[in-house]
Structure 1
Amino acid sequence: MTIRNLDALFQPRRVVVVGASDRPGSVGATVWRNLHGTFQGELFAVNPRRPALGAPVVATVEELPAPPDLAVICTPPATVPELIGRLGARGCRAAVVITAGLDAGLKQAMLQAARPHTLRILGPNCIGMLVPHLGLNASFAHASAAPGNIAFVSQSGALVTAVLDWANDRGIGFSHFVSLGEHADVDFGDMLDYLGSDARTRAILMYVESVTAPRKFMSAARAAARNKPVVLVKAGRSAQGARAACSHTGALAGSDEVFDAAISRAGMLRVHTLHQLFLAAEILARFRDNRSERLLVLTNGGGAGVMAADAAAHMGVELATLHETTVRRLDEVLPGNWSRANPVDIIGDAPAQRYVEALRILREDRDSAILFVQAPTAIVPSDEIAQALLPMAAERPPRVLGCWLGSGAVAAARQRFRAAGIPDFATPEEAVRAFSFLRQYHRHQAELLETPPAPPGIGLDLPAIQALVQRVLAEGREWLSEPEAKQLLALAGIPVTPVRCVPPEPEAAAAAAEALGYPVVLKILSPDITHKSDVGGVRLNLHDAAEVRSAASAMLQCVAQRRPGARLEGFAVQPMVQRRHAHELIVGATIDPLFGPVILFGAGGTAVEVLGDRAVALPPLNVALAEALIERTRVARLLRGWRDVPPAHRPSIHAALLAVAQLLADVPEIAELDINPLVVDAQGAVALDARVRVSAHRPGGAAHFAIRPYPQELIEVLPWDGGVITLRPIRPEDEAQHLAFLERVDPEDIRLRIFYSRRSIEHSELARLTQIDYDREMAFIATRPRPDGDGEETLGVVRGICDPDNDSAEYGILVRSDLKGRGLGRILMDKLIRYLRAHGTRRIVGQVLRENAGMLALVARLGFAIRPHPDDPDLRVVELPLQGQPPTR
């Protein structure tokens, strides 16, 4: 992941158009026309014909009067690689390659020509890009974009021009408008990194057709989504996942559901139309701080209120119930025929003061957002109502959504609301849908803050599991038999039913049933039959030996007729699990070709495909993420219990999901896994059947997770101060412990480290300190057991934040004030330096107050160079090269 030289692409001072032309209708002429007269920097052209273009034109790149920051290339495909090399040698650091038709060889040659100069390439085969606040329209789009604070990035060139036209018609402005084209170099991950820290961009909108480098994409997306809303439309909601597969979960590989799971885990929001894209941008840019789950509707029209209520019911948005006190207070200010319910209809003849009084009362429900819907009347101008409501409607944090029905009669009111930062929607349905996007966004943000461990520390006999898997692979098999699959689950800590395997003889099956006790289940054992029930290979609830013998004989005949070539290894006999009020669930795992290991949960049984009640998630998981996965299914409502049916035992479901996540992390050979059914009731869960496929290609494992799990391998125990301390990466679960640590650091020590004193620290900031993306940042804490034996305490923390290029990492360190002078700071710094060196980071840097003599002495002993800050005499810049240097120990 890299943002290197993207400033040359998006903030150029000098731009050259290579292939600029005066030929009407040509790409070179269109690009030149779009740039000439609007770009605020210097503009040059390269064309051997030297046409008169109203600006300097030279025949070759070498003749340019100054090195350009950005080149826009509009020349034939075969010329592009050589031009890139010559531009790089001339000092150019970025190029927009408009040219289409570069085959794989030419694209590779282009990238190779750019590499020695770290010249960044947007495209090829792209419309180009626009940066409106610079007047930069380096594209052949038919129109310019207005300045604004939304960035739009698209893979589709045609869509770029369509969205530009649509946005201009609605007065929507942009900070950046970018066509990625074939994204040979600059891709979505790079754009998310750049725009995520761009001060002019308040929200990022994307049109996505495909994603490459998924871990890079996920890491960049998670970083950007922490700073600002990221909303996308994903094309290709196709039926890839409906292909035939040997396991129920395996059919999900490559499916749109997996992409949805990745988006939610990254804290982004996915919508399905371009119109919804801008609805989401409107509410997230103006209303993101509102955390309400319910909606109050205030309107002057009963029909508009019904439309809002219908939309809420359809989209799963809860309308708040009016409290009796609220109804009584509204009775005092509203006419007797008001609705007396939510939606609150204050009647069409309402003067401005009636709106004000009703809104003042509804505002007291602090847990609900308020949708204000007004239809114009002849009683009072809408603009007068807007002006009267503004003092309350514009309060922060935001509470009110606006919906002015109509056009010309409400235009001034709508503009007044929008100028005050109040979200505005054309219809009640649009407003309710936008509010539903907001709730979904906040749920995804909560998932973004979860960084669970992998493995999660539950019981797993890894050596025994690996021995089992290697034995199966050594025998040339991929599918485990049912007894082997159940053995694997049991070794992972998942309860299973006991099973006895016997030869394919009815008498042997009856003898096994007698030993287990009735009733029993009889299943065929065959390496060639994955779904046993499809061939009559399962019989349930057999009560005596005669029934078992009869069922076994019938099963052999049925299998012989339906699968005459199948190899029969025998029968599996197991107790019949009979639990009143039990639920049949499915828990599974597969390897997605893009995002790697994926976990499935849903309603199970033989009708699993028909029911289609399932949800997927990316590992690693913790209990909170496992619960969120369960709640995305319809069966979750049944698991809560109803009437005389008690709630299902959720912890046992969580344990099964966490065990599967651990298997995916620790056993990379696992390619597919189905537990179906996992039977659960109020007492717990048990796996009745399982299928497991393994592969010698090792497609799984934590290394293939799209989200890097907790790096447990970095934990170490060291002697210190007459005892031992544990050095480990920080975890989300450390939030309370970290707060207690910060409360034991003197304000003066905090000032010396972060340059200002703090009286308190908010939960949101604590979350950012403890819930980190281990691909981008590392924080090591030193801990020891608490003196009272109740858990552990944090003694110090060191943090390194890498830039997207992994060129440098900025460090920060803090040691508990009562523990200074005992060498803990050096131990922490040594840990960070060793990690960053192994991580490939080139250098570690920091800024230290000149008066912080202790820190300056420490870094000097560690070999840091120390120099004055170029702009602040009170600061010192410290730097330590990491690559090619000896270890600090």
Structure 2
Amino acid sequence: MPARKLNASLFAHMPAPGDLALVSTSGTVAAAIVEWASRHGIGLSAALALGSACDVDVADCLDHFAGDFRTRAILLCLDEIADARRFMSAARAAARAKPVVVLRSGRHRPDRRESVTHTGALAKPDAVYAAAFRRAGLLSVQNLDEMFAAVETLGRQRPFPGRRLAILANGDGVGQLAADRLADRGGTLAGVTPADGFPAENPIDLGIEADGPAYAAALEPLLLDKANDAVLAIHVPTVRSGAAAVATAIAETAKRVRAGQMRKKPVFAISLGDDAAAGEVLAEAGIPRFSTDSEAIEGFLHLVRYREAQDDLMRTPDSLPRDFHADVQAARGIVARALRQGATWLDPIAVMELLEAYDIASVPLTLAPDIDAAAAAAWPVIAGGGAVALKVVSPDVVHKSDIGGVQLDLTSEADVRAAAQSILARARRERPDARITGFAVQPMVRKGRRRELIAGLAEDPTFGPVVVFGRGGTAVEVIDDRALGLPPLDLALAEDLIGRTRVARRLCAYRDVPAADMRAVALTLVKLAQLAADLPQVRELDINPLLADETGAIALDARVRIGRGYPEGRAGRGHPRFAIRPYPTEWVRTLTFKGRPIQVRPVRPEDEPLFRAFFATVDPEDVRLRFFAPVREFSHAFLVRLTQLDYARAIAFVALDETETEEGRRMLGAVRLHADANGESGEFAILVRSEARGTGLAYALMRLMIDWARAQGIARVEGSVLAENRPMLAVCRRLGFVQRPDPEDAGMVTVRLPLKAEPAPSAV
């Protein structure tokens, strides 16, 4: 801890005090970053090398530094994660508070998992980790160079809104190199408002002779221009313009202009050459300085992506999506019957019924036990002028095409019989050990303009179920165009998942081909995520291909692997397998108070306007009793903390008057409980309208909160109440809370309710 001059490490140098915290499971990686930071004048609030982490782990450190006022950003270097739910809970909480940059080593270690489906093979561990980091709102970097760029950026510049970058350079070539790098990395080149003497082009070329005054004259209008969100100034030293003079001009101009700005526009600098004086000038002005265009663009995009990651953190999908109603009982029965029969794969009929239970359209099929039955099943389709597809059915053959087990475009009974004989002959030759239970007969579905996709579920040993989406077909693993996401999903998260693949561009309209129904594809992914939530016995699910066009999406072929129980390490409080706790729909209640229906439910992220309206109309005295002081304004940041919850460690129940008014449903009150990192104790807070007093609402909210705490295994519930707030103290007394005066504040009363038997204090 540099600020306290505490060094219990083997680092070569003690870093300067600063506001970046470094947490690493590798001592050598931590030492490398500390050494780099020491050479570049970057200060750290702490640097920890955890090693094997037998006690304190990464999640503990994230919890600590998230609440540390000395730390503005967290640098995280790790290898493997032991407890995914604990890590994701801590990471999401930390990322809501401040930027967290993560570097993972060992990304390309051999994958020793035995995945037999396409989706399982596509869900490589590194891809799953990347999906988890993205969902947690972490800034993921690939190597130490990117980590150093992130440290340089975060050490000088705070995150900012927007993504449009203006580039200023003393040469068209170096400016275009930076613009090219920005485009390659998915960044946005800003427009430029014309100014006196400067063209409306980006990058702006000042010419090779540009000196300090030239940079100052060009930088000032860019800092005032609303067409960009940040400025990158590039300087190549020449005999006519030294690096220190230009750096001084950039620093002084930025200081002067930003002093009059409410939102201070970021400035980044590239100073080619090794001029220590230029570096010191820029560092003193808080301007990140880089040696190459690649480093500078990465540093800029780190902050852009941090801001964008906050949007993902604001979404917490329901555990029961509202867009459809799955027949969960029927689905569970299908899986249970197969398990009782000792099956590890669902047969084609069971797969079709399972998809139907989740309203996922599929091509109907008939299961035929032999060649004669296959011909008979094909006849109605052929008689109607259609063609059929014939597929082998075997619990031992996952990929039917590997043994020639699929025959298409069969238009007569003779074709069907010949195809069936051919399939059997090759199956016996290629897989003599395989059990052939029959054939699946399906009407042919022409691909036409439909896009071939793949969608499904895979099982990761660390993070549990993973949703997989990408380009489908027999070469799916070779093409490797896929994106992964951790369930639960909503439509927005599913659409983002689709957008991270190359095949997403083919879903758009092109030439005379209309756009595919993107919502239907996204809703299929949401349904699969819900299936994973409802059926932990489903270990892998493969829809390949999923055909999509303007009319919707349909599963042409699918397979489902099942197993008993939960994977090792996934059982626990709440949902047994998900690394991210879904919205707890099961805690929604409808209560009646004095003849009025009141809905009580867990708070949702979209409830911020509801809370804003509530605080605007609630009695100021009630607000003072809740927050122990008058509160005049409730900012967006404050309301986000009330509505953006990680349901693994916090809950808030909101009470809504079901009676409709001109303003819609009114919020009558809310209760909140936030547990500590270990789930041992939880601190509560409650606020209800004055008109709701005496109705029993406060008592009911507290009872529901206590029930939730017990269900989570929390040992005790605690809180602080103003001594003058007698109604609240009376409610606590009825609920069995022990009340004691606060020894540090005579006006406060601490209340405590044990939910588990607490051990007696040991004798001294």
TM-score, length-scaled by structure 1:
0.79
CA distance in 1, matches of 2:184, 2:112: 27
Map of 1:567 onto structure 2 = 435
Alignment match, 2:490: 622
Q: Does 1:371 align with 2:232?
A: yes
Two-structure CA RMSD over aligned residues (Å) = 2.5
- Aligned to 2:547, what secondary structure does the other structure show? strand
Matches within 5 A, 1:424-439: 424-439=289-304
Select which of 462, 469, 474 maps to 1:601. Answer: 469
1:835 aligns with 2:708: yes
Q: Which residue of 2 aligns with 1:442?
A: 307
Higher mean displacement: 627-636 or 236-245: 236-245
Q: What is the CA–CA distance in structure 1 between the aligned matches of 2:452 and 2:690, rounded to whole Å?
A: 55
Pair 1:845–1:242, CA change in 2 (3 A): closer
Whether 1:656 aligns to 2:524 is yes
Matched, 1:577 2:445: yes
Which aligned pairs between 1:406-417 and structure 2 lie closer than 5 A? 406-407=272-273, 409=275, 411-417=276-282
Name the CA distance, whole Å, in 1 between partners of 2:667 and 2:411: 60
Secondary structure of 1:625's match?
helix
Q: 1:348 aligns with which of 177, 202, 208?
A: 208
The yes-or-no answer on 1:154 pairing with 2:15 is: no
2:91 equivalent in structure 1: 221
Q: 1:642-671 CA distances to partner (integer Å, 9 max, x unpaired)?
A: 232222112211221111111111111111
Rounded to whole Å, the distance in 1 between the matches of 2:13 and 2:153 is 26
Given the alignment, which residue of 614, 625, 629 partners 1:752? 625
Question: Structure 1 residue runs of 4+, over 6 Å off?
Answer: none
Q: Please, which of 80, 87, 93 is the counterpart of residue 210 of structure 1?
A: 80
Q: Distance in 1 between matches of 2:68 and 2:209?
A: 48
Instruction: Give the Cα–Cα distance (whole angstroms) in 1 for the partners of residues 457 and 254 of structure 2.
Output: 53
Structure 1 residues 548, 392: closer, same or farther in 2, change over 3 A? farther
The 1:194/1:615 distance shift into structure 2, 3 A limit, reads: same
Q: Deviations over 1:744-789 (max 9, x none)?
A: 3233322321234445544443333222011111111123424259
- Per the alignment, do residues 533 and 201 of structure 1 end up closer, same or farther by CA in structure 2, a change over 3 Å counting? same
- Which residue number corresponds to residue 35 of structure 2? 165
Q: Distance in 1 between matches of 2:30 and 2:254?
A: 38
Aligned partner (choices 401, 405, 422) of residue 554 of structure 1: 422
Identity %: 45
Amino acid at match of 1:217: F
Tell me the equivalent position of 1:12: none
Name the CA distance, whole Å, in 1 between partners of 2:409 and 2:633. Answer: 63
Unaligned 5+ runs, structure 2: 759-764
Give the equivalent residue in structure 1 for 2:656: 783
Asked whether the 8 Å contact 1:353–1:388 carries over to 2, the reply is no
Tell me if 1:486 matches 2:352. yes
Output one character per residue of 1:139-178: Cα deviation in whole Å (capped at 9) or x when no partner: 3433323222211122222333333333222222221111
Matched length? 743
Query: Structure 2: which amino acid aligns with 1:529?
Result: V
1:792 offset after TM fit, Å? 4.8
1:400 equivalent among 260, 263, 266: 266
Seen in structure 2, the aligned counterparts of structure 1 residues 387 and 432 have a Cα distance that, compared at 3 Å, is same
- Return the letter of the residue paired with 1:376: P
CA deviation after TM superposition for structure 1 residue 573, in Å: 1.2
Equivalent residue letter for 2:297: V
Partner amino acid, structure 1, of 2:508 = R
Q: Indicate the residue corresponding to 1:182 in structure 2.
A: 52
Residue 221 (structure 2) aligns with: 361
Distance in 2 (alpha carbons) for counterparts of 1:789 and 1:549: 69
Aligned CA distance change for structure 1 residues 466 and 293 (closer, same or farther; 3 Å): same
Distance in 2 of aligned mates of 1:764 and 1:683: 42
Instruction: Determine the C-alpha separation between the residues in 2 that align with 1:379 and 1:690.
Output: 66
C-alpha contact 1:390 1:417 (8 A) present in aligned 2: no
Asked if the contact 1:403/1:427 (under 8 Å) is kept, the reply is no
Give me the whole-angstrom Cα distance separating, in 2, the residues matched to 1:141 and 1:665: 46
Letter in structure 2 aligned against 1:831: L
| Pair 759,135 (structure 1): closer, same or farther in 2 beyond 3 Å | closer
Deviation of 1:616 after TM superposition, in Å, equals 0.8
Question: How far, CA to CA, are the matches of 2:661 and 2:128 in structure 1?
Answer: 46
| Deviation by residue 1:633-692 (Cα, 9 ceiling, x = unmatched) | 111122122232222112211221111111111111111111111111111111111110
* DSSP-derived class of the 2:8 partner: strand
Give the Cα separation in 1 of the matches to 2:609 and 2:487: 25
Which of 397, 403, 411 in structure 2 is aligned with 1:529? 397
How far is the alpha carbon of 1:839 from its aligned partner?
2.9
Show the counterpart of 1:587. 455
CA contact (8 A) 1:601 1:629 kept: yes
Structure with greater Cα Rg: 1
Q: Aligned partners of 1:825 and 1:286: how far apart in 2?
A: 47
What does residue 302 of structure 1 align with?
Answer: 172
Residues 268-327 of structure 1, C-alpha deviations (whole Å, 9 max, x = no match): 1111112211312333454443122222111222222022122113222221244xxx2x
AA partner of residue 349 (structure 1)? E
- Partner residue in 2 for 1:469: 335
Name the structure 1 match of 2:100.
230
The C-alpha deviation readout for 1:199-243, integer Å capped at 9, x for no partner, is: 211111122111112111111111111111111211111254485
Contact 2:191-2:227 at 8 Å conserved across structures:
no
Partner-residue secondary structure (3-state), 2:237: coil
Q: CA deviation at 1:614?
A: 0.5
TM-score if structure 2 supplies the norm length?
A: 0.91
The answer to whether the 8 Å contact 2:220/2:253 transfers is no
The alpha carbon displacement at 1:344 in A equals 0.9
Equivalent pair of 2:597/2:658 in contact (CA under 8 Å): no
Q: What are the superposed Cα offsets for residues 100-152 of structure 1, whole Å, 9 maximum, x if unpaired?
A: xxxxxxxxxxxxxxxxxxxxxxxxxxxxxxx1111111134333232222111
SS at match of 1:568: coil
Shift of 1:471: 1.4
Secondary structure in 2 matching 1:136: coil
**Shift in alpha-carbon separation, 1:258–1:884, aligned structure 2, 3 A:** same
Q: What secondary structure is seen at the aligned counterpart in 1 of 2:457?
A: strand
CA contact (8 A) 1:585 1:679 kept: yes
Q: Which amino acid in 1 is paired with 2:596?
A: G
C-alpha change, 1:866 and 1:476, in structure 2 (3 Å) is: closer
Q: Note if contact 1:254-1:593 (Cα within 8 Å) is conserved in structure 2.
A: no
Aligned partner of residue 590 in structure 1, secondary structure: strand
Alpha-carbon distance, 1:452 to partner: 1.2
The Cα shift of 1:252 comes to: 4.6
Cα distance in 1 for residues equivalent to 2:347 and 2:235: 66
Following TM superposition, by how much is the alpha carbon of 1:438 offset from its aligned partner in structure 2, in angstroms? 2.5
Which structure has more relative contact order (CA 8 Å, sep 6+)? It is 2
CA contact (8 A) 1:295 1:368 kept: yes
Task: Please give the secondary structure, in 1, of the residue aligned with 2:446.
Answer: coil
Q: Label 1:385 to 1:283 Cα distance change in 2 as closer, same or farther (>3 A).
A: closer
Conservation of the 8 A alpha-carbon contact between 2:138 and 2:306:
yes
Q: Is the 8 A contact 2:219 2:253 kept in 1?
A: no
Write the letter of the residue equivalent to 2:173.
G
* Alpha-carbon distance between aligned partners in 1 of 2:663 and 2:357, rounded to the nearest angstrom: 31
Shift in Å, 1:608: 0.7
Residue type matched to 1:314 in 2? D
Q: Which amino acid aligns with 1:429?
A: S
CA 882–566 in structure 1, closer or farther in 2 if over 3 Å, else same: closer
Pairs within 5 Å for 1:222-261: 222-238=92-108, 240-241=110-111, 245-252=115-122, 255-261=125-131
2:501 maps to 1:633: yes
In 1, Cα distance between equivalents of 2:706 and 2:329: 33
Deviations 1:712-768 (A, max 9, x none): 232333332213323222122433333333333233322321234445544443333
Tell me how far apart the structure 1 counterparts of residues 234 and 511 of structure 2 sit (CA, whole Å): 39
What is the Cα deviation at residue 366 of structure 1? Answer: 4.5
